[in-house]
């Protein structure tokens, strides 16, 4: 045996000895893990306490949790500061603080800043002041914040929107103490339209008590009308086939959304119509008027300098309107004209224009279709009795004019006709609004109210094909909490976190537990096995986590990438590491050998940790 062979044997023997040593000391025993809060968390002072209970339900969850969500909409940004208690097995919403950016012409959303990314980021400062004021100092470091932009940034284009999102993330991470949800988990992003609708559905049904509890109640449908897009979400039911065969089911496609929430499984229909929000609808209707005028005057553009009659404006009113026409239009990409209302109310003519914008004649690939060629199960057949909730601009336009919480589409149509009559001296159509506080002022300051209401009627009745006698409900808040997608998004995050936090890694980091409080506080014992290898390079800057386990049941390879502690995203540890399958001992050993091989080639100090779940 030569010297080289002898050295190889010695090295091999050393590696085997190290493996056996590690396995001997780290293989799981029968003693269960101990949670971060043995016996449950108790309040250290009144700011982190609750009147609902004195101790958290779980030994691995804090008594009080805060979460921040910024809704960066097309017309303005809003912050929601949520306070939850963990007195029960699922988080309970205790309080919500809400603030919106100041209203201004053209909107105050992130998209209104166009190429001024830094200005867009700084526009959120007034909202963050609410969070700084309401979240206790000792919880700021473990209160996650996310910013979700909607249709406004979708329409702005990827280059400008990405610059704005990057500036927003940088400002949040460098100026404020709240951990920002990581990019991998959509911390600062343009939200998918389907998620926007589904989260709004969760918010509404959770606040109504229809989901999240032990009872299987029928759920409500949600119709959300934003500035740039509109969403529809409902849970259709299909009657049993008459011949005793299999019942009809929701057709496959992007419209089908399977959701597990609160111990129940839901199959939802959802669709988000980009370009059919209320502000976008105004542009669409104005464009139809301009196109019709251009067709009537193909040889001259002199009419552009004269008042343009628009049946969708209140009689006697005028409005200077910039109308986007798109690339390649004969009149240019846009025109600015003075539009004037008719001499008498013209609600039917306005509604006809609104119906044209819905494109009901588009090809329907999967029947039945609602509008613009989009498949939708019939509301009259699959959702005929359950509650229908309308919010956002549906509420903002109808409620100030005295509409009750519940009304039919026929009554909404009557309101529209009355508004479109205008305040003529020989008509008493507006007299009914005089006893309603602020109604006349609302109408006088918004000549497009006739247009807005006609579009709503057309959208609901002609577009979604909702029966004219169908009763609907409008709401802005339920039980004091704002409706919309924000609470639903945050509640889903918390529910996922609570499932993920069933992982008790019993982590003994070579740095203080305070640094990883956001993730460690969310750990909880679970009977699953995994191998997690951590290595720490020189400083506390970067903690890389790699899990290489072959899960026999799911046959998935888990490869979890690192995150940056200094960017205060450590709470996102639990957002990515839910192991759904029981890992067998053979897989466990494979994990050890795979991780050891990687660790032995790594530079710097190495800590090997095992978590028995």
Residues with active-site annotation = 196
How many Å apart are CA 210 and CA 219, to the nearest integer? 6
How many Cβ atoms are within 10 Å of 36's Cβ, its own excluded?
21
For residue 298, what are the contacts with CB-CB under 8 A and spacing of at least 6? none
Q: Do 265 and 259 meet the contact criterion of CB atoms below 8 Å apart? A: yes
How many Å apart are CA 201 and CA 105, to the nearest integer? 30
How many Å apart are CA 191 and CA 200, to the nearest integer? 13
Nearest Cα to 353, choosing from 200, 457, 470, 245? Answer: 457
Task: Output Rg (C-alpha) for the chain, integer angstroms.
Answer: 29
Q: What are phi and psi of 420, to 5 degrees?
A: -70, -15
Report the sign of the C-alpha dihedral through residues 528, 533, 538, 543, in that order: negative
How many Å apart are CA 523 and CA 611, to the nearest integer? 11
How many Å apart are CA 173 and CA 190, to the nearest integer? 18
Give, in order, the Cα–Cα distances in Å from 380 to each of 67, 384, 471: 39, 5, 12
Extended strands (E) in 307-387: 308-309, 318-324, 334-340
Task: List helix spans (H) across 145-254.
Answer: 151-156, 158-175, 193-207
How many Å apart are CA 243 and CA 236, to the nearest integer? 21
Give, in order, the Cα–Cα distances in Å from 591 to each of 20, 327, 596, 597: 14, 57, 8, 10
Separation of first and last alpha carbons in the chain:
46
Token pair for residue 512? 């203080």
How many Å apart are CA 544 and CA 164, to the nearest integer? 28
How many Å apart are CA 559 and CA 572, to the nearest integer? 15
Q: Do 588 and 579 meet the contact criterion of CB atoms below 8 Å apart? A: no
Nearest Cα to 26, choosing from 422, 592, 409? Answer: 592
- Which SS3 state, helix, strand or coil, does residue 184 take? helix
Give, in order, the Cα–Cα distances in Å from 97 to each of 63, 127, 609: 19, 10, 40
Q: Do 152 and 123 meet the contact criterion of CB atoms below 8 Å apart? A: no
How many Å apart are CA 269 and CA 281, to the nearest integer? 23
Token pair for residue 308? 């343009």
For residue 553, what are the contacts with CB-CB under 8 A and spacing of at least 6? 581, 582
Q: Do 189 and 357 meet the contact criterion of CB atoms below 8 Å apart? A: no
In DSSP notation, 554-572 reads T--B--PPPEEGGGT-GGG
């Amino acid at each position: 045996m030569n010297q080289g062979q002898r050295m190889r044997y010695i090295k091999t023997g050393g590696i085997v000895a190290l493996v056996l040593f590690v396995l001997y000391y780290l293989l799981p025993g029968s003693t269960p893990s101990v949670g971060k809060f043995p016996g449950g968390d108790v309040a250290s002072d009144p700011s982190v306490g609750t009147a609902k209970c004195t101790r958290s339900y779980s030994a691995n969850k804090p008594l009080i949790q805060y979460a921040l969500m910024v809704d960066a909409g097309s017309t303005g940004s809003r912050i929601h500061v949520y306070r939850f208690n963990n007195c029960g097995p699922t988080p309970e919403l205790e309080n919500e603080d809400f603030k919106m950016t100041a209203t201004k012409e053209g909107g105050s959303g992130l998209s209104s800043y166009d190429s001024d990314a830094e200005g867009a980021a700084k526009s959120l400062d007034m909202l963050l002041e609410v969070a700084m004021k309401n979240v206790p100092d000792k919880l700021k470091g473990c209160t996650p914040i996310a910013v979700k932009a909607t249709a406004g940034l979708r329409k702005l284009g990827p280059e400008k929107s990405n610059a704005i999102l990057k500036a927003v993330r940088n400002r949040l991470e460098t100026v404020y103490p709240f951990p920002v949800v990581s990019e991998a988990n959509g911390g600062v992003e343009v939200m998918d339209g389907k998620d926007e609708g589904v989260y709004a559905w969760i918010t509404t049904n959770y606040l109504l008590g229809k989901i999240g509890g032990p009872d299987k109640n029928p759920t409500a449908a949600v119709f959300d009308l934003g500035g740039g897009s509109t969403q529809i979400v409902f849970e259709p039911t299909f009657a049993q086939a008459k011949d005793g065969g299999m019942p009809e089911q929701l057709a496959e496609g992007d419209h089908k959304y399977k959701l597990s929430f609160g111990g129940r499984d839901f199959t939802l229909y959802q669709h988000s119509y980009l370009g059919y929000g209320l502000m976008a609808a105004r542009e669409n209707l104005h464009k139809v008027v301009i196109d019709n005028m251009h067709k009537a005057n193909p040889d001259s553009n002199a009419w552009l300098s004269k008042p343009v009659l628009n049946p969708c404006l209140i009689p006697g009113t005028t409005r200077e309107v910039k109308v986007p026409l798109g690339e390649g239009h004969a009149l240019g990409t846009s025109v600015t004209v003075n539009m004037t209302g008719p001499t008498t109310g013209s609600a039917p003519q306005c509604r006809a224009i609104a119906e044209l914008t819905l494109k009901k004649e588009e090809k329907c690939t999967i029947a039945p279709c609602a509008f613009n060629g989009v498949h939708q199960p019939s509301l009259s057949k699959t959702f005929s009795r359950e509650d229908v909730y309308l919010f956002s601009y549906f509420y903002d336009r109808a409620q100030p004019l005295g509409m009750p919480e519940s009304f039919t589409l026929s009554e909404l149509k009557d309101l529209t006709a009355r508004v479109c009559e205008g305040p003529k001296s020989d008509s008493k159509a507006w007299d009914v609004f005089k006893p309603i506080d602020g109604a006349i002022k609302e109408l006088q300051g918004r000549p497009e109210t006739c247009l807005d209401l006609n579009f709503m009627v057309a959208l609901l009745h002609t577009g979604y094909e909702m029966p004219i006698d169908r009763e609907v409900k409008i709401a802005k808040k339920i039980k004091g909490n704002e409706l919309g997608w924000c609470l639903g998004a945050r509640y889903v995050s918390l529910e996922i976190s609570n499932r993920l936090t069933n992982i008790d890694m019993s982590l003994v980091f070579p740095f203080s537990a305070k640094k990883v409080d956001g993730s460690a506080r969310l750990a909880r014992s679970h009977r699953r096995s995994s191998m997690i290898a951590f290595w720490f390079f020189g400083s506390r800057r970067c903690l890389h986590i790699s899990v290489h386990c072959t899960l026999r049941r799911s046959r998935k390879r888990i490869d979890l990438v690192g995150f940056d502690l200094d960017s205060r995203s450590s709470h996102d540890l639990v957002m990515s590491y839910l192991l759904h399958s029981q890992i067998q001992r053979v897989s466990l050993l494979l994990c050890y050998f795979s991780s050891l091989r990687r660790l032995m080639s790594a530079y710097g100090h190495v800590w090997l940790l095992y978590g028995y779940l």
